[in-house]
Structure formats: C-alpha cells, structure tokens
Structure 1
Amino acid sequence: MKSVKRLFLVIFIVYLLPTFASAGLWAMKDRPGRWSEARWSSAGILPKADESEEAAIYVFSAMTGGLKGAVASHAWIVTKEKGAETYTRYDKVGWGKPMRRNGYPADAYWYSNMPELVTSVTGAKAELLIPGIGEAIAAYPYSEPGGYTIWPGPNSNTFVAYVLREVPELGAVLPPHAVGRDYLPDGEFVHLDDDWRDLHVTLRGLLGFSAGMRSGLEIHVLGLVAGIDIANPGIKLPAVGRIGF
C-alpha cells in the first residue's frame, strides 16, 4: 500500500504539479480570446529565403491557443531547397484538410505565441535530407480528413515526430509539451529508429517511454513527458518544457 501511495506522490510531483503551475500562469496571461484576434504573422526569426543559396531545414514549436495552450504546443516543419527563393512550410491541423502546405509564414506566431526553433540544418546536409523529409511527409498515414485527434493523437505533433523518427539524421526530438508526439502510427507498440539511437515504447501514446541519444530518458504518462536530456544536459518537465543545466 505504501508503494502505491509513493507512486501516486511521484506522479503528482513530477507530472501534475508542473502542469497545474503552468495552467495557473497561463490563466493570468493576456492572450487572444478568439482565433481571429490572434497574431499569425512572421516572428522575424528566419532570414529571407532569397538571401542565401543554401538548402535549409527548420523545425519549430509554439504553444497553442485556448486552455490547451497551458500545457501543449504545436510543431511544424520548414524546408528550402538549394537555390529556392521561398520557404515551404508543412503543418497538420485539426480543421478542414489536416495537412497544410504554406498555410502560414514559415516562422509565424501561433495563436500569438512566439515560435521556438527546435532544430535547424543548412547547407549540404540539408540538401541531402530534404528528399527524405518529402518522402516521410508523403508516407504519413494520417494525412486525410478525419486523421486528427487532439489527444492522445494523432495530432500536429504526431506528424512532426513521425518525420523526425523517419529522418533521424535531423538529430532532434520535440519538446516535452508537444503532446501527441509519442503516439506511434498504426497501433505500433515499439519503434527503433533506423540508426538504432532511440527506442520508443508506447501504449497508444498514453503510457510509455523513450530512451536513446536524442531522447535521453523519458517517461510518458497520459501524453505528459518527464525525463533527462543526455545529449544537451537538462531536465524535461510536462507543460514547462526543457530546462538546461
């Protein structure tokens, strides 16, 4: 009985306490009440596409809107082929046709929230990886209408996490508040990345873990992520994100 109580205490401290704290801080923020009132313009993070001949890849994440914005973010992918004068942005959304191409500026605010750059790759490496990204996007199994579930997935973060796993050379994982990132497609229970550097085990995105050089050690409970980052030392907290040492 004591061990059960201790388990619930750990879950409360590690998963629920940060979530409640984030929700409280979120409630005090001045934020848009409706979609039409939010800012969706460029945040000015990326250089103009025509300023460089180099190929480029960017992955962004930004906290979303409404109450879910207290604990969850939205991720998207941006690419630019060598010599291209424009960026191409890929999102998955929960309305209309879920897969969107250039629905928003490449580095736009999301529901007025400043985007965070998760990873970037430029030059020759980006040039080599862009075709693989295109193939992964084309193969994503939940791209049709009806292929979106806000929780536990598949949602916008499920899509981007799928691409990151299919192209592990990007060397990135989404932040802990990217709820839905741990949902594996087609009911898959275990996934080992092609380079064998990350292992993912999940029960429909509700309970599981990830371990490896990119993920570090993560424990997932009801879509909430806590863990330790090894490659870039830090801790991962639900709703809060990554805190570096």
Structure 2
Amino acid sequence: MVWLKVITVGFLCVMLLSFGQSYLRAAHSGVALTGQSWSDARRDSAQLAPDPVALSQTAIVQVYVAPTFGWRGLFAVHPWIIFKKAGETRFSRYEVVSWGSDNVIREDYTLPDGYWFGAKPQLIVDHRGSAAAAMIPAIEAAIKSYPWPHTYRVWPGPNSNTFLAHIGREVPALRLDLPANAIGKDFRPLSNPLGLPPSGRGVQLSILGVLGLTLGAEEGIEVNILGLNMGIDVKSPALRLPFIGRLGPGKVETDLAG
C-alpha cells in the first residue's frame, strides 16, 4: 500500500539523518570513536553539581545523562540520580551498572557529576529546597522497589534507563523527561503493557519496550519502534529523535525554590 511505503521511507530517512547527526557529534567530541580503553577514560568531575558543603542546609535532587561508553554512545545514553537532604554535606548517587556485582543497583559508583567514561554529563533535572526535600523519601522508596535489581539487558531492557524510568513513574514530582535515546526507558513486562510514562504523568502502551506509544506531560507524543523513539515535545517544543535524543532548545526541569 502506498501509505505504508511512505511511512516506511519516512521512518528510514529519520533513522539515517538522526544517526548521521549522532555520528557527527561523536566525531566532534572524539569520545566514541577513539577506541580509548575504559580504564583510561576520563571520570573526573564535570563541575556541574552544586557544592554540597556550601549548600548544606538545602535539599537537592538532580538527574544526569551521558552518552554510553565507546561506540554505544552513538545510540544511547546512561542516566543517574543524585540527591542530598538538608543538613547533609555529600550527595548520594544511584544508577544501574551491568558489571561488577550481582546487584546491578549501585550507590556512589563514581563522582556525583563525573564524566561517564570520557563523556560529559548533561543535567536534565534540578530540584532544590522544599520541593526536593519532599520527594527524596519517595525516591529512596522507589530505588528499593525497583523490580529488576539482579537483571540487566542492554536491549530492550531492563537496564540503566529502565531504572530511572521506574523512579520517574514512582515520583511524578520529579518531572523526569528521559531523552528519546534513553533506550530501555519504555521497557515494560508483557504482564503490564499499559501504565504511566517515565514522567509519571500521562499514559504509555509498550510491549517489552520494542513497540509502543507514549503520551506524557513531559515527553509529549512519542512512538517506539524496536526501541527507537521519535516524537514531538509539546510542552517545550522540540523533536524527539533516536540516536540524538532531542532536536531543539535544551530542557532542564527545575524547581529552585527554597
């Protein structure tokens, strides 16, 4: 049918153009294409997180994403969450990592805002003060209730993006908007294909994270085909594209009230 051919050609064109843009970004940064060993890759602070000592009396919650290590960074990102309560002088960092332990949930695996094996992180959520203080107990509970603490699959999930998406669903106040190239964020078991999107507000239909549709307050409209997402961010106008995540103005969910 003609309409099916048009949709197929359009989908392939978006895939190729998005991948080309991702490759150009990687070539410019030099991270994904150098063949650098993970043991030698940069992991120092990116100087993005606030000083927890200077802001010791302020509760803070932040979420970061960075391209995954090596050539995989052409396709997907790795996310993590950091937080501290009022009165604390250090951040706690949580994420899912596939190697090194039977339990894939890691606490303080590296610096709060450290380069992810050579890739500079991007801040996507920043809540401070009373808003952050109110959500931290729910975040801690969500970490404990993650359904797959001993399972990791790069595709279609569960993986590091599935973990952050779980926290976002459990804590809608976080207003989490994982980018379109956060492969695994839409993973859902076959027994529960319908529910909340990662932002915790809206609706998502997803079959194992390989085919689905998301209508979310933060995500806008997003279609998932074989784990590759494309759509439109309505709230903060931009295109949501595979490989590159977002085409349009940058977006950081913030609440910096005291």
- Of residues 22-31 and 159-168 in structure 1, the stretch that sits farther from structure 2 once superposed is 22-31
Could you tell me how far apart the structure 1 residues matched to 2:242 and 2:204 are?
A: 18
**1:115-154 map, 5 Å:** 115-144=121-150, 147-154=151-158
Structure 2 SS opposite 1:51: coil
Instruction: Select 1:111's aligned residue among 113, 117, 126.
Output: 117
2:49 partner amino acid: L
Change (3 A) 1:213 1:166: same
Paired residues of 1:206 and 1:223 also in contact (CA < 8 A):
yes
Could you tell me how far apart the structure 1 residues matched to 2:141 and 2:9 are?
A: 44
**1:28-43 map, 5 Å:** 30-31=30-31, 33-43=36-46
2:106 partner amino acid: R
Identity %: 36
Is 1:75 aligned with 2:79?
Answer: yes
Residue in 1 that maps onto 2:254: none
Could you tell me how far apart the structure 2 residues matched to 1:60 and 1:4 are?
A: 38
* C-alpha RMSD of matched pairs (Å): 2.0
**TM-aligned CA deviation for residue 14 of structure 1:** 2.3
Residue in 1 that maps onto 2:220: 216
Could you tell me how far apart the structure 2 residues matched to 1:3 and 1:156 are?
A: 37
Deviations 1:6-45 (A, max 9, x none): 1211210223431244236535753352111111111111
**TM-aligned CA deviation for residue 117 of structure 1:** 0.5
Residue in 2 that maps onto 1:171: 175
Could you tell me how far apart the structure 2 residues matched to 1:142 and 1:196 are?
A: 19
Could you tell me how far apart the structure 2 residues matched to 1:207 and 1:62 are?
A: 24
Residue in 1 that maps onto 2:256: none
Paired residues of 2:190 and 2:207 also in contact (CA < 8 A):
no
**TM-aligned CA deviation for residue 163 of structure 1:** 0.3
Change (3 A) 1:208 1:38: same
1:63 partner amino acid: P
- Of residues 20-29 and 80-89 in structure 1, the stretch that sits farther from structure 2 once superposed is 20-29
Residue in 1 that maps onto 2:234: 230
Could you tell me how far apart the structure 2 residues matched to 1:22 and 1:192 are?
A: 29
Paired residues of 2:170 and 2:200 also in contact (CA < 8 A):
no
Residue in 1 that maps onto 2:193: 189
User: TM-score normalised to the size of structure 2?
Assistant: 0.88
Residue in 1 that maps onto 2:7: 7
User: TM-score normalised to the size of structure 1?
Assistant: 0.93
1:217 partner amino acid: I
Deviations 1:146-200 (A, max 9, x none): x000011001011001101110111121111111111125742011369983111
Query: Gaps (5+ residues) in structure 1?
Result: none
Could you tell me how far apart the structure 2 residues matched to 1:238 and 1:196 are?
A: 21
Structure 1 SS opposite 2:95: strand
Could you tell me how far apart the structure 2 residues matched to 1:192 and 1:28 are?
A: 37
Query: Gaps (5+ residues) in structure 2?
Result: 250-258
1:11 partner amino acid: F
1:153 partner amino acid: G
Paired residues of 1:187 and 1:204 also in contact (CA < 8 A):
no
